[in-house]
Amino acid sequence: MGTEDLRADVAIVGAGIAGSSIAWWLTRLDPTLSVVLLERDTGFGSSSSQLSASSIRQQFSTPINIQMSQFGLEFLSGARSLLAVEGEEVEIGLTLPGYLFLALPAQAEAMRAQNAIQHAHGARIELLGPEALAARFAWLNTADLALGALGAGVEGWFDGPALHSAILRSARAQGARLVRAEVSAFEFAPTAPGASPDSRRVAALHLADGRRVVCGQAVNAAGPWSRRLAAAAGIELPVHARRRTVFVLSCPTPVPGCPLVVDPAGFWFRPEGRHFIFGTTPNPDTDDLPLEPNLAEFDETAWAALAHRVPAFESVRVERAWAGYYEMNLFDHNALLGLHPGFANLWCATGFSGHGVQQAPAAGRGLAELLLYGGFRTLDLSPLSVGRLAEGRRVLESNVIG
Ligand SMILES: Cc1cc2nc3c(=O)[nH]c(=O)nc-3n(C[C@H](O)[C@H](O)[C@H](O)COP(=O)(O)OP(=O)(O)OC[C@H]3O[C@@H](n4cnc5c(N)ncnc54)[C@H](O)[C@@H]3O)c2cc1C
């Protein structure tokens, strides 16, 4: 603990994968910049980035989400050397068996429409009728299905905690400083009389241990806690911490070639090593529940629905479970990126609503471009601007996995 001020060109609150990625891109694009990551728990015990299902897909319905994941895939594919530090390569175990979204007859038309959008944006997602599904996945019950959409070769999963750690490590090797501290308050520069209402300026961040971080720019990358942090600056963010439980299941019968299956009954599963992981959307879905897995979510109903889809899962056993928070943007379930309206130097990257690991490479690059150049240079992320909250402009993404 000390009272000495810290100084940085850019101070990022939260060193989860979003904050780490922003720091990585900033220090890569401008090695002279001083970047500090302020993280209250450097063990990351409750950070979503260490607790996710670590999967990546292109089956979205909005072009911007498709494009962000395409860039995410490119980044993940190159992670081995891109994130190497002092010649030590990184292994993130990327595997691409695809997501398999399943549709009942009433959902088939919507699936076809989404598929057209995906193809228009270069996402190679194959549509499979019930016969093709049965031929490809003999363990799948297709009796009630009209269609499936499979992204083999472009979608899959990886070691998310390893990716997060590698981005953070590489960002530090490029010069970003990681400081263990909790940000408790914002200090604003005095506003000159008659100044524009868009010019409110953060002068420093106050830390719970009494220190200050004097900064040129401040970024809220506090994930599920970003609403609380924003409130300290007088900003209302509709980002809520919603607990999601992931179950690790064992199954004595082989289920070969299993992709990440998203079932119309509202659950998903995929292989994880020699086991499977499974998740579903809780009902009711309450804010800020303690991060203990809710074992009741894998009840008779969930088990029966799973065994209906894959009869081999009749005999699954729950081996263990964990829980993490979705940082759920209740406005429209999509990322909130960019400069807060009314502020000259307070930015945010949050609200990823269940797809933040795969979007972190693109979000980090986009935020870095905004901070360094005042505009996007590669992918235009303006549809996800945080300004859309005030404008009432929703990004209508219909492929949200609750
Ligand atoms: C069960 C589950 C499954 C998921 N599956 C996937 C998936 O398959 N694919 C995918 O792309 N995404 C998935 N996600 C979503 C993904 O995990 C998140 O979107 C992503 O990790 C968000 O990263 P973040 O850096 O914004 O948040 P976090 O990783 O939570 O990091 C935020 C950090 O901010 C710190 N912090 C907060 N407040 C302060 C403060 N005041 N001062 C200092 N530090 C502070 C916290 O300690 C934390 O480390 C899943 C999430 C869960 C919970």
pLDDT tens, residue order, the chain (402 aa): 446 899 999 999 999 999 999 999 999 999 999 999 999 999 999 999 999 999 999 999 999 999 999 999 999 999 999 999 999 999 999 999 999 999 999 999 999 999 999 999 999 999 999 999 999 999 999 999 999 999 999 999 999 999 999 999 999 999 999 999 999 999 999 987 777 767 899 999 999 999 999 999 999 999 999 999 999 999 999 999 999 999 999 999 999 999 999 999 999 999 999 999 999 999 999 999 999 999 999 998 999 999 999 999 999 999 999 999 999 999 999 999 999 999 999 999 999 999 999 999 999 999 999 999 999 999 999 999 999 999 999 999 988 888
Task: Determine the residue of 38, 49, 209 to mutate for testing ligand 1's pocket, defined as the one with the most ligand atoms within 8 A of the Cβ atom.
Answer: 49
Pick the CATH number of 99-155+240-329 from 3.20.20.120, 1.10.150.120, 3.40.50.1100, 3.30.9.10: 3.30.9.10
Pick left, alpha or beta for residue 345 (phi over 0 → left; psi -120 to 50 → alpha; otherwise beta).
alpha
Q: Is 355 in the pocket of ligand 1 (CB under 6 A)?
A: yes
Pick the CATH number of 6-79+160-238+332-391 from 3.30.460.10, 3.30.450.90, 3.40.50.10890, 3.50.50.60: 3.50.50.60
* Ligand 1 closest atom vs CA 352: 19
Distance 159 CA to ligand 1 centre (A): 15
SS3 category, 384 = helix
Closest CA to 9 of 28, 49, 41, 37: 37
Distance 48 CA to ligand 1 centre (A): 3
Distance 16 CA to ligand 1 centre (A): 6
Q: Is 40 in the pocket of ligand 1 (CB under 6 A)?
A: yes
User: Can you list the positions of beta strands (E) in 80-165?
Assistant: 99-103, 126-128, 147-150, 156-157
Closest CA to 9 of 241, 347, 331, 302: 347
* CA distance linking residue 322 with residue 320, whole number of Å: 7
- Domain segments of the chain as ranges: 6-79+160-238+332-391, 99-155+240-329
Distance 137 CA to ligand 1 centre (A): 33
Q: Is 353 in the pocket of ligand 1 (CB under 6 A)?
A: no
Q: Which protein residue's CA is at the shortest distance from atom 41 of ligand 1?
A: 183
**Burial (0-12, 13-18, 19+ Cβ within 10 Å), 84:** middle
Task: Determine the residue of 41, 44, 47, 48 to mutate for testing ligand 1's pocket, defined as the one with the most ligand atoms within 8 A of the Cβ atom.
Answer: 48
